Structure 1
Amino acid sequence: MQKKDRYKVLLAQKVLFYDRKQDKFLVVKVKNKEGWYYKNMGPWEFPGGGFDEAEILEKSLKREIQEEVGTDIEYKILDIVHVNDYTAPSGHKIVLVHLADYFSGEIVLSEEHDEYEWISPEEIEKSKEYKNWLKFSVLNASKYIEKESALDSWKRCQADFENYKKSQARAQEEFTKFAKMDIISQILPVLDNFEASLAHVPAHSRENKWVEGIVYIKKQLEDIFKNNNIEEIEVKAGDKFDPEVHEAVGGDGKKQKVAKIIQKGYRMNGRILRAVRVEVN
């Protein structure tokens, strides 16, 4: 095929900026009112343009954004929402319209445009100033944002539900622990009585079967305590009084020491099940 017969196709890119705070899109107005583009594609468009020689998509898009709306804006490219193609005097053009989140920064127009507006999808749809290709781009962008918002809401709901399940599991675990603590607290006096009874058994009677039975039952209770992470709070005479784990019998315990242990104390899973009752001096 001879060179003069080749069909020339040009690729270009436009950016449809979306401000979520305003729920509006950015459009720029073509300055040259006598040009082919203004008369055929409409006075309003999106920032963007063609490629320089051997330029890749990403680099070209970044350059066009800086040239047409300034270097100070903060944004994030999301996706291609429309592909527009038309035949111009320079050849057939295929234009990729990218949707981008606009975050901040001053809009500084190039010499190709003399005006810009932030406008809602409803205003664009109703106005006759905007050509169909621009309206289709905004419509597709709105659908994309709506789907993205619905997906985000679903993800948040799913995350909230997972957090709720974890919270309920923790609450159930805490409830079980407290329920155990309540039951164990009622068993403690039984263990106290066994220990008090054994303390008064004469030496010559310790090998009697009934004494061995009491010792065995006491051992069973101690095993239950051990299996439920219940431990005796260690304290001895001469230790400094600690109001966190000690309960003073006679006196307030301030700046005093433990003189005598009246009743043992216990912890369960690190929590005080019963404080050690002590005499202080």
Structure 2
Amino acid sequence: MSKHGFFQITQKLFLRDGNSLLVLRDQKSGHGDLPGGRMNEDEFFEDWSESISREIKEELGESIKIEVNPVPIFVHKHRVNEGNLPCIIIAYDAKLLAGKVQLSDEHDFMEWVDIKSFDPKKLFSEYMLDAVQLYLTKYA
């Protein structure tokens, strides 16, 4: 008999400024990343938007103002870089309202890329690449 799995949840934002999408690179792994991150255990039974807000402040700075559509655009499988643990990506659409991104030390690179011409294969890999390609196919 198979046993039930335990999976982490990461909430990722496809953060847009018009036709530009914010892409990041994880400082530890060197892999492409998107704003957002894993939900803490104590956040699970709370409003999930609070977890997103916490991650955005940590990763993009206090001054950035964004609007997140609270309805997920898709769910995708992923492996967390640390420990290669199975994880579920819940993807959201978001738009930049004001402010300038101040990268944390979690990421060592950022770029606003044109969704019509961006090739994610240069930056992203594995399941995150699949998720970004899915987004670009649907929303570019």
Question: TM-score per shorter chain, which class?
Answer: 0.7 to 0.9
- Output the amino acid matched with 1:52: N
Deviation of residue 96 (structure 1)? 0.6
The match for 2:24 is 28
Deviation of residue 101 (structure 1)? 1.1
Deviation of residue 128 (structure 1)? 3.4
The match for 1:100 is 94
Deviation of residue 134 (structure 1)? 1.6
The match for 2:58 is 67
- Output the amino acid matched with 2:138: N
- Spell out, residue by residue over 1:142-176, the C-alpha distance to the aligned partner (whole angstroms, 9 max, x if none): 3xxxxxxxxxxxxxxxxxxxxxxxxxxxxxxxxxx
Larger strand proportion of the pair? 2
- Spell out, residue by residue over 1:71-108, the C-alpha distance to the aligned partner (whole angstroms, 9 max, x if none): 11121112422322134535321111111011210101
Scaled by the length of structure 2, the TM-score of the pair is 0.79
The match for 1:14 is 12
Change (3 A) 1:77 1:141: farther
The match for 1:140 is 138
Instruction: Indicate the RMSD between aligned Cα atoms, in angstroms.
Output: 2.2
Quick one: distance in 1 between partners of 2:94 and 2:120?
23
- 1:80 has 2:72 as partner: yes
- Output the amino acid matched with 1:124: F
Quick one: distance in 2 between partners of 1:73 and 1:9?
30
Quick one: distance in 2 between partners of 1:134 and 1:71?
26
- Output the amino acid matched with 1:26: L
- Output the amino acid matched with 1:48: G
- Percent identity of paired positions between Structure 1 and Structure 2: 24
Q: Secondary structure at the match of 1:122?
A: coil
User: 2:26·2:106 contact (CA, 8 Å) conserved in 1?
Assistant: yes
Give ranges in structure 2 of 5+ residues lacking alignment. Answer: none
Larger helix proportion of the pair? 1
Quick one: distance in 2 between partners of 1:113 and 1:129?
13
Q: Secondary structure at the match of 1:108?
A: coil
Quick one: distance in 1 between partners of 2:7 and 2:27?
25
Change (3 A) 1:138 1:67: farther
- 1:54 has 2:42 as partner: yes
Deviates more, 1:70-79 or 1:113-122: 70-79
Change (3 A) 1:102 1:6: same
User: 2:24·2:34 contact (CA, 8 Å) conserved in 1?
Assistant: yes
The match for 1:207 is none
Greater Rg, structure 1 or structure 2?
A: 1
Scaled by the length of structure 1, the TM-score of the pair is 0.42
User: 1:15·1:48 contact (CA, 8 Å) conserved in 2?
Assistant: yes
Change (3 A) 1:127 1:86: closer
Deviation of residue 127 (structure 1)? 5.0
Q: Secondary structure at the match of 1:107?
A: coil
Bigger RCO of structures 1 and 2 (CA < 8 A, at least 6 apart): 2
Deviation of residue 125 (structure 1)? 3.6
Change (3 A) 1:126 1:51: closer
